[in-house]
């Protein structure tokens, strides 16, 4: 009898002790480190490892799961974070369909979430469910405006468009055609191709035939190189614009000579060291740039990883206020953390300056985008 009591007491003590040790802040991160979005997810996963493990006197535990670019898996990961791990904050996922599907789960459990997916629908309009959701990447509209402004300033009157034949290309076409119409640019040709296509000769012939002053290629990563190479091959003389989706070293490697002189909008982080000192995103950008390069090699920085870094910045800025309201691991703390993120003002980060409000859960402005030009295989900042 005595032994049994002792064992029970010992177990109770041990249990209590582990409970105490677990009093820390838990963050569940789901990224698309494999599957079609792997080129986004891998730098994001790398960046999670660089986030601070201790903030405001609290140990931060990051639980990272791969959702294989799959919506169902992203939802399952989120459920696991919430029910099994009892996380205080969810981060992810890399792509818009996954992030959209996760909204229901976090809203139901009342857990704040910061998305790395760029789609506007993730955070707007801020309704009862999106109340809990924030995101760090610039919206496509900010980027299309940058492109259109640059085109108008450089005397472009007519534009051709070629994009993916899926939701990505369609949403780019929507936002670009609206922005172009607003500034009086004429969209003369609209073509589509697939990420896995081995030839875009037909589409390019049509574009070259329409003789636009400039062409916008709405692709992402290395598949965006194919239309550009074919345009050059067919002797297209005009300006070529790419989107911020191509900013990774592999795109430069695959596109090579054919990409010289291409214009594209981007997050300032990609060219952080080239920015003027007065730029508000320079300090945080350079910090991230150097940390990432020292860990993963020269020329390895992409904006995708910086979305995670900035999610970490928002979290770090909101954490002290949330800690004054409640203890981590409680529903009150999660609500306080959400409120604190929504109240953030002028937080300088690698992608720009974040000022959240009850109607704006992105909080970036024109300081969050720059125009780049590809020169001798490098991204060059154009002021």
Partner 1 sequence: MDSSIALILTQDGIVNGAVYVLLALALVLVFTVTRIIFIPQGEFVAFSALTLAMLENGRFPGTVWLVLAGGLAVCAMEAGALVARHDWRYRARVLGWNLVYPFALWALASLVDWRGAGQLARIAFTLALVVPLGPMMFRVFFQPIASAPVLVLLIVAVAVHVALVGLGLWMFGAEGYRTLPLWDENFLVGPLRIPGQAIWVVGASLALIVLLAQFFSRTIYGKALRATAVNRNGARLMGISPNLAGRLTLMLAAAIGAISGILVSPITTIYYDTGFLIGLKGFVAAIIGGLAAYPAAAAGALLVGLLESFSSFWASAYKEVIVFTLIIPVLFWRSLRTHHVEEEEE
| Positions in the binding site for partner 1 (CB under 8 A) | 34-36, 38-39, 42, 165, 191-194, 196-203, 205-206, 209, 221-223, 225-226, 233, 248, 250, 254
Q: Which is nearer to partner 1, 109 or 226 (CB)?
A: 226
Residue 293: CB minimum distance to partner 1, A? 18
DSSP element (H, E) containing 48: helix 38-48
* 303-325 and 331-342 helices, crossing angle to 10°: 120
Q: Which is nearer to partner 1, 221 or 305 (CB)?
A: 221
Residue 256: CB minimum distance to partner 1, A? 8
Q: Which is nearer to partner 1, 136 or 220 (CB)?
A: 220
Q: Which is nearer to partner 1, 191 or 213 (CB)?
A: 191
Residue 335: CB minimum distance to partner 1, A? 38
Contact (CB, 8 A) for 228 and 217: yes
Name which of 125, 180, 135, 174 is nearest 158 in CA terms. Answer: 180
Residue 194: CB minimum distance to partner 1, A? 6
Cis peptide before 125 (omega within 30 of 0): yes
Q: Which is nearer to partner 1, 118 or 252 (CB)?
A: 252
Q: Which is nearer to partner 1, 35 or 280 (CB)?
A: 35
Residue 189: CB minimum distance to partner 1, A? 10
- DSSP label of 123: T
Residue 269: CB minimum distance to partner 1, A? 20
Q: What is the Cα–Cα distance from 317 to 347, expressed in whole angstroms?
A: 8
Q: Which is nearer to partner 1, 254 or 350 (CB)?
A: 254
- Cα→Cα distances 244→80, 195, 209, 377, 379, Å: 33, 16, 27, 16, 11
Q: What is residue 2's three-state secondary structure?
A: helix
Q: What is the Cα–Cα distance from 64 to 32, expressed in whole angstroms?
A: 11
Q: Which is nearer to partner 1, 217 or 322 (CB)?
A: 217
Q: What is the Cα–Cα distance from 298 to 308, expressed in whole angstroms?
A: 19
Phi, psi dihedral angles at 22 (to 5 degrees) = -85, -5
Q: Which is nearer to partner 1, 251 or 315 (CB)?
A: 251
212, 369, 169, 216 alpha-carbon torsion, rounded to 10°: 10
Q: If you write DSSP's letter for every residue of 143-182 in order, what string do you get?
A: HHHHHHHHHHHTT--EEEEEEESSHHHHHHHHHHHHHHHH
Residue 98: CB minimum distance to partner 1, A? 16
Name which of 252, 270, 293 is nearest 368 in CA terms. Answer: 270
Q: Which is nearer to partner 1, 16 or 209 (CB)?
A: 209
Residue 214: CB minimum distance to partner 1, A? 19
Q: What is residue 264's three-state secondary structure?
A: strand
Residue 95: CB minimum distance to partner 1, A? 13
Residue 173: CB minimum distance to partner 1, A? 10
Name which of 12, 29, 159, 134 is nearest 81 in CA terms. Answer: 29
Identify any residues that bridge with 380 across adjacent strands, giving them in sequence order.
373
């Amino acid at each position: 009898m005595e032994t049994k009591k002792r064992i029970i007491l010992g177990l109770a003590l041990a249990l209590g002790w582990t409970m105490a040790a677990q009093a820390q802040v838990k963050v569940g991160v789901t990224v698309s480190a494999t599957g079609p979005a792997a080129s986004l997810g891998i730098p994001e996963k790398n960046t999670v490892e660089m986030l601070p493990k201790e903030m405001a006197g609290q140990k931060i535990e990051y639980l990272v799961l791969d959702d294989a670019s799959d919506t169902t898996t992203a939802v399952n990961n989120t459920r696991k974070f919430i029910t099994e791990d009892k996380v205080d904050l969810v981060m992810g996922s890399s792509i818009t369909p996954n992030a959209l599907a996760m909204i229901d789960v976090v809203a139901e459990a009342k857990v704040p979430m910061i998305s790395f997916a760029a789609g506007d629908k993730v955070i707007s309009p801020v309704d009862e469910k999106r109340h809990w959701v924030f995101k760090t990447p610039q919206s496509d509209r900010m980027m299309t405006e940058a492109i259109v402004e640059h085109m108008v300033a450089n005397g472009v009157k007519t534009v051709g468009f070629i994009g993916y034949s899926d939701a990505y290309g369609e949403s780019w076409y929507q936002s670009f055609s609206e922005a172009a119409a607003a500034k009086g640019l004429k969209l003369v040709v609209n073509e589509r191709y697939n990420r896995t296509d081995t030839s875009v000769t037909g589409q390019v012939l049509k574009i070259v035939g329409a003789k636009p002053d400039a062409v916008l290629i709405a692709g992402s990563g290395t598949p965006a190189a194919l239309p550009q190479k074919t345009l050059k091959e067919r002797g297209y003389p005009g300006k070529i614009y790419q989107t911020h989706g191509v900013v990774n070293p592999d795109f430069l490697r695959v596109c090579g000579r054919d990409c010289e002189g291409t214009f594209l909008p981007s997050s300032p982080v990609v060219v952080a060291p080239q920015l003027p000192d007065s730029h508000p995103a320079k300090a945080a950008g350079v910090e991230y740039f150097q940390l990432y390069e020292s860990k993963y090699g020269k020329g390895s920085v992409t904006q995708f990883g910086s979305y995670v870094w900035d999610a970490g910045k928002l979290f770090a800025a909101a954490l002290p206020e949330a800690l004054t309201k409640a203890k981590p691991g409680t529903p009150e703390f999660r609500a306080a953390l959400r409120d604190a993120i929504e109240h953030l003002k002028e937080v300088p980060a690698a992608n720009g300056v974040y000022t959240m409000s009850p109607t704006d859960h992105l909080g970036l402005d024109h300081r969050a985008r720059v125009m780049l030009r590809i020169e001798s295989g490098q991204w060059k900042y154009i002021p």
